[in-house]
């Protein structure tokens, strides 16, 4: 009798324990200022021993601590001074991430399901591009766009004088490449639409808002006499001012 009761108790507890497991890869999205940005997140471990990580291309941004209380997980990302709070219900994750710019942003996720293989051949956009029409507060007129392509899958990054966007990844969908990035920082949504003239229509949503640009292959941009991207090594310089009573460094 006792064995039957013990077995019944174990079977009753098992589904609850399984329901509380985050382990595995998830398709997630963050609502960033009204724009839903998709990203991948993965977990390992159970309960308070769970560990999670965001992706920056092939690199992992891993949590630095976790706790499990009242059915919710809180994962800390000390490198970014942020935390991720999640609750698992009916196979879905819901929660928030922050503080970032003094705000918290809602996050939802479902278990990862591999998308079906695309039946449409994607146009080739692999290589170097110049993003034209930039008018940044740092005096830039052009950014460099680097694209790496494998069939319909694409990884890209935009280089600016103050850094880059991180690896923005995605695929070819309905006549355009839809890419996104969220590694626990720098959320971004990038759409690249090939034009009949060989250019790319560029739509970028990031920390700086939503903007539209045009990208031209770098070799063609030089042939057309378009301005080159600002050289980061030339953007910041040191000027030494000397006088009879002081010496100062200015950047």
pTM score, whole prediction = 0.81
168 with 179: CB under 8 angstroms? yes
Superfamily (CATH H level) for 2-111: Quinohemoprotein amine dehydrogenase alpha subunit, domain 2 (2.40.128.120)
Helix (H) or strand (E) holding 50: none
142 CB burial (10 A radius; 0-12, 13-18, 19+): buried
pLDDT of residue 4: 53
More confident residue, 236 or 185: 185
Mean pLDDT, to the nearest integer, of 149-168? 93
Strand-pairing partners, residue 69, are 72
| Domain layout of the chain by residue ranges | 2-111, 127-235
pLDDT tops 80 at residue 5: no
- Contact residues for 229 (Cβ-Cβ < 8 A; gap 6+): 130, 140, 142, 143, 144, 159
pLDDT of residue 190: 97
pLDDT of residue 239: 58
pLDDT of residue 10: 41
Q: Assign domain 127-235 to its CATH architecture.
A: Beta Barrel (2.40)
pLDDT tops 80 at residue 63: yes
The least confident of 4-18, 48-62, 144-158, 231-245 is 4-18
- Could you report the per-residue pLDDT of 179-210, keeping only the tens digit for each? 999 999 889 999 999 999 999 999 999 887 89
Q: What percent of the chain has pLDDT over 90?
A: 64
- Could you report the per-residue pLDDT of 89-141, keeping only the tens digit for each? 999 999 999 999 899 999 999 999 988 877 789 999 999 999 998 988 788 88
Mean pLDDT, to the nearest integer, of 233-239? 59
pLDDT of residue 40: 96
CA 241 vs CA 70, 236, 238: distances in Å: 61, 16, 10
- Could you report the per-residue pLDDT of 205-230, keeping only the tens digit for each? 988 789 999 999 999 999 988 888 98
Q: How many Å apart are CA 137 and CA 23, to the nearest integer?
A: 43
Mean pLDDT, to the nearest integer, of 4-12? 45
13 with 6: CB under 8 angstroms? no
Check the CA dihedral 103-210-164-30 and report its sign. Answer: positive
**CATH topology identical between 2-111 and 127-235:** yes
Check the CA dihedral 126-130-136-140 and report its sign. Answer: positive
pLDDT tops 60 at residue 86: yes
Q: What percent of the chain has pLDDT over 70?
A: 84
pLDDT of residue 154: 97
pLDDT of residue 231: 75
Mean pLDDT, to the nearest integer, of 61-74? 94
With b meaning 16 or more CB within 10 Å and e meaning fewer, what string describes 220-241?
ebeeeeeeebbeeeeeeeeeee
Mean pLDDT, to the nearest integer, of 48-75? 94
133 with 79: CB under 8 angstroms? no
């Amino acid at each position: 009798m006792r064995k039957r009761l013990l077995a019944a108790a174990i079977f009753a507890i098992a589904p609850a324990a399984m329901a509380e497991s985050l382990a595995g890869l998830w398709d997630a999205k963050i609502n960033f200022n009204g724009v839903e940005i998709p990203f991948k997140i993965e977990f390992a471990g159970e309960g308070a021993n769970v560990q999670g990580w965001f992706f920056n291309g092939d690199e992992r941004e891993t949590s630095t601590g976790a706790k499990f209380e009242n059915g919710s997980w809180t994962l800390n990302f000390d490198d970014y001074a942020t935390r991720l709070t999640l609750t698992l219900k009916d196979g879905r994750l819901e929660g928030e991430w922050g503080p970032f710019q003094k705000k918290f942003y809602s996050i939802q996720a479902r278990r990862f399901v591999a998308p079906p293989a695309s039946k449409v051949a994607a146009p080739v956009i692999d290589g170097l591009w110049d993003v034209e029409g930039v008018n940044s507060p740092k005096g830039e007129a052009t950014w460099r766009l680097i694209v790496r392509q494998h069939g319909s899958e694409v990884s890209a990054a935009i280089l600016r004088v103050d850094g880059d966007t991180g690896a923005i990844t995605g695929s070819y969908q309905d006549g355009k490449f839809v890419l996104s990035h969220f590694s626990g920082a720098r959320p971004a949504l990038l759409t690249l639409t090939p034009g009949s003239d060989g250019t790319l229509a560029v739509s970028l949503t990031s920390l700086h808002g939503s903007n539209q640009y045009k990208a031209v292959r770098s070799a063609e941009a030089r042939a057309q006499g378009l301005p080159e991207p600002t050289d980061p090594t030339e953007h910041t310089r040191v000027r030494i001012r000397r006088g009879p009573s002081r010496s100062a460094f200015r950047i």
